[in-house]
Structure 1
Amino acid sequence: MPEPTAVVLDAMGVLYESADDVGELLVPYLREHGCALDTADIEEAYRRASLGELTSAGFWEATGVAGSADDEEYCARHTLTPGVHELLKAADTAGVRVACLSNDVSRWSELLRRRFGLTESIRDWVISADIGVRKPQPAIYHEMLRRLGIAADGVWFVDDRAANVAAAREIGFTAIHYGRDVTSFDQLTAALAR
């Protein structure tokens, strides 16, 4: 792999352990709070929130749990993937910029990055709800490149979803499928240190 100028990490399934946060974390949380919507309707409400069409408060209202569900309580269910902070230290030592490109709800993304102490090491966050575009649409990758101010061939892009990896490759990123090309942050850190 070419030496990177920047490493762009996905959030769910890469920075945070749950790859299917809607199915594994959000739906059970909603059920515990009395949500009676079927899963397809919950997924659609989440999609709308991840495009910025609903705030997190609007999402809780749309799923019938406003007043009992809470952003911080829900976000506390997420766990950081082991080795993240070690990669961030190695990137800093190597002079490599680290960014995050994620399909997520704005408020939840902010809470998670603060909770896990990521705001100092990861300064560039392109979140779907903030710009109204989700991966794998090309516009979200181009927005990341615009913010980084570098060419795609200087970026390692790490994501756990094949469609997102394929879209990044088409744009020119060195795209790494987390879970297939690498299976841990230790491997990413070792590759960065070479």
Structure 2
Amino acid sequence: MKNHKIEWVILDAWGVIYTKRNFIHSFLYPFLKQRDPHIQEEELYKEYYKASRGSFTSKDFWESIGFKEEYPVIEQQYLNSVSCLDDHFLEWIPKFKEHYRVALLSNDVEEWSKFLLQKYNITQHFETIIISGEVGFRKPSVEIFEYFLEITNASPSRCVFVDDRLANLKASAEVGMNTIRFIRKDSKTPFCSEFEVGSFQELWHVLLNDSS
């Protein structure tokens, strides 16, 4: 990154802003298992994938897994049960905004993502928000990163993408973005990013030192 002045810091949601990287396993499956002991986690992933690509709405998702009559109450109950915002994000995001344009780029159901952003009152921290369920592309597809570059008119060499998943980082690097892996625990997966950080404080110092 030293050869390019960074303009955009693009953050993932799950695993970065939110402390849990797999919310289906951590929240959705346990929540629904209490209501239907026979529900299969694999089925949730399959139907969620469709909704997070914009193939159908959150209402369609609940109907597809057998909770048509419970919607929309069950969706409100589920989303209100989710508690995973990284408190340090609120501490450090003002510093980031002083020096960079900050964006959110996340795989999620459009309605769920917007609900959580409003729930935690963090929408205003992002100049641009791209949700897979809204635009029809999911990471690690390069199309979602190309879409970001198109709507912002940003130069990829002046963007740094922060994510916890290696496949997503590789895809962003393919379009020319700089990458930082955000990982809270040790991992045995191959290193592929320019930097690895474990907190927003570490992320801030990497960006600060690299621009100095």
Please state which band the TM-score falls in when normalised by the shorter chain: over 0.9
Kindly provide the CA deviation profile for residues 39-85 of structure 1, in whole angstroms up to 9, marking residues without a partner as x: 22111000011011121111111111234353332223131113112
Equivalent residue, structure 1, for 2:77 = 73
- Name the SS of the counterpart of 1:4 in structure 2: coil
Runs of 4+ in 1 over 6 A off after TM superposition: none
Query: For the residues of structure 2 that align with 1:98 and 1:87, how far apart are their CA atoms?
Result: 12
Q: Structure 1 regions of 5+ residues with no counterpart?
A: none
Query: For the residues of structure 1 that align with 2:16 and 2:125, how far apart are their CA atoms?
Result: 16
The one-letter amino acid paired with 2:98 is: T
Query: For the residues of structure 2 that align with 1:39 and 1:187, how far apart are their CA atoms?
Result: 34
Kindly provide the CA deviation profile for residues 19-57 of structure 1, in whole angstroms up to 9, marking residues without a partner as x: 011111111111122263322211100001101112111
Query: For the residues of structure 2 that align with 1:78 and 1:61, how far apart are their CA atoms?
Result: 24
The one-letter amino acid paired with 1:70 is: I
Equivalent residue, structure 2, for 1:11 = 13
How big is the alpha-carbon RMSD for the aligned residues of Structure 1 and Structure 2? 1.6
Q: Is the 8 A contact 1:35 1:64 kept in 2?
A: no
- Name the SS of the counterpart of 1:143 in structure 2: helix
Aligned match of 1:30 in 32, 39, 42? Answer: 32
Identity %: 31
Kindly provide the CA deviation profile for residues 92-143 of structure 1, in whole angstroms up to 9, marking residues without a partner as x: 222x111111110000010111111211111311111111111011110011
Query: For the residues of structure 2 that align with 1:58 and 1:191, how far apart are their CA atoms?
Result: 42
Q: Structure 2 regions of 5+ residues with no counterpart?
A: 187-195
Match runs of 1:1-194 below 5 Å? 1-2=1-2, 3-34=5-36, 36-68=38-70, 70-76=74-80, 77-94=82-99, 96-179=100-183, 181-194=196-209
Query: For the residues of structure 2 that align with 1:91 and 1:161, how far apart are their CA atoms?
Result: 22
Equivalent residue, structure 1, for 2:189 = none
Query: For the residues of structure 1 that align with 2:74 and 2:204, how far apart are their CA atoms?
Result: 35
Query: For the residues of structure 2 that align with 1:4 and 1:44, how far apart are their CA atoms?
Result: 37
- Structure label with greater radius of gyration: 2
TM-score scaled by length of structure 1: 0.92
Larger displacement relative to structure 2 (81-90 or 19-28)? 81-90
